[in-house]
Amino acid sequence: MGGFILSSNLSTPTLSITINYFKILPITRDSALLVVLIQTLQNLIEMKLKNLVLNSLKNVDLSMIDIKEPSKEFLDLIKKEIILQRKKNYSFPIPKIDKLQIPNFVFLLRTLDFRRWEFKKNWVYKNKKRFWALFSKLEDLFKIGVKNIDYKIFKKIISPKESDSLGKLRFKFFKKNLLWLKNNYDGNFKNYFEKNKNPLNFTLGLTNLGRFEDIAKNSKKIYFLKPNQLLYTEYLLATNQMKKYSENLKDLTAFADYRLPQVLMYFNIIIPNKKLLDKIKNKKIIRIGSKEEIEIRASTILACELIKNKIKKVSSFEVDMALWNFTYKNKIKINIPHFRAKSIFY
Q: Shortest CA distance to 116 belongs to which of 341, 268, 324, 307?
A: 341
Strand partners, 5: 25
Indicate whether 9 pLDDT > 50. no
Q: What is the dihedral of CA 307, 320, 78, 123, to 10 degrees?
A: 150
- The top-scoring range by mean pLDDT among 5-9, 34-38, 110-114, 144-148 is 110-114
- How does residue 74 score in pLDDT terms, banded at 50, 70 and 90? very high
Q: What is the pLDDT of residue 216?
A: 96
**Sign of the torsion angle spanned by Cα atoms 179, 182, 185, 187:** positive
Q: Within a 10 A sphere around the Cβ of 27, how many other Cβ atoms?
A: 10
Find all residues with CB under 8 Å of 87, minimum gap 6, and list them: none
Q: Among 87-96, 306-315, 336-345, where is mean pLDDT lowest?
A: 87-96
b/e burial code for range 265-280 (CB count within 10 A of at least 16 → b): bbbebbebeeebbebb
Q: How far apart are CA 296 and CA 276, in angstroms?
A: 10
Q: How far apart are CA 291 and CA 60, in angstroms?
A: 9
CB 134 within 8 A of CB 116: yes
The stretch 268-290 carries a mean pLDDT of: 97
Contacts 24+ apart (CB under 8 A), 26-30: 26/2, 27/2, 27/3, 28/1, 28/2, 28/3, 28/4, 29/2, 30/2
CB 234 within 8 A of CB 252: no
- Through-space distance between the first and last CA atoms of the chain, rounded to whole angstroms: 55
Q: What is the pLDDT of residue 192?
A: 98
What tens digit of pLDDT does each residue of 51-69 get? 999 999 999 999 999 999 9
Burial of 225 from C-beta contacts in 10 A (0-12 / 13-18 / 19+) = buried
- How does residue 92 score in pLDDT terms, banded at 50, 70 and 90? confident
Whether the pTM exceeds 0.75: the reply is yes
Q: What is the pLDDT of residue 1?
A: 36
Strand partners, 269: none
Q: Within a 10 A sphere around the Cβ of 145, how many other Cβ atoms?
A: 10
Indicate whether 34 pLDDT > 70. no
Q: What is the pLDDT of residue 8?
A: 35
What tens digit of pLDDT does each residue of 113-131 get? 999 999 999 999 999 999 9
Element (H, E) at 25: strand 22-26
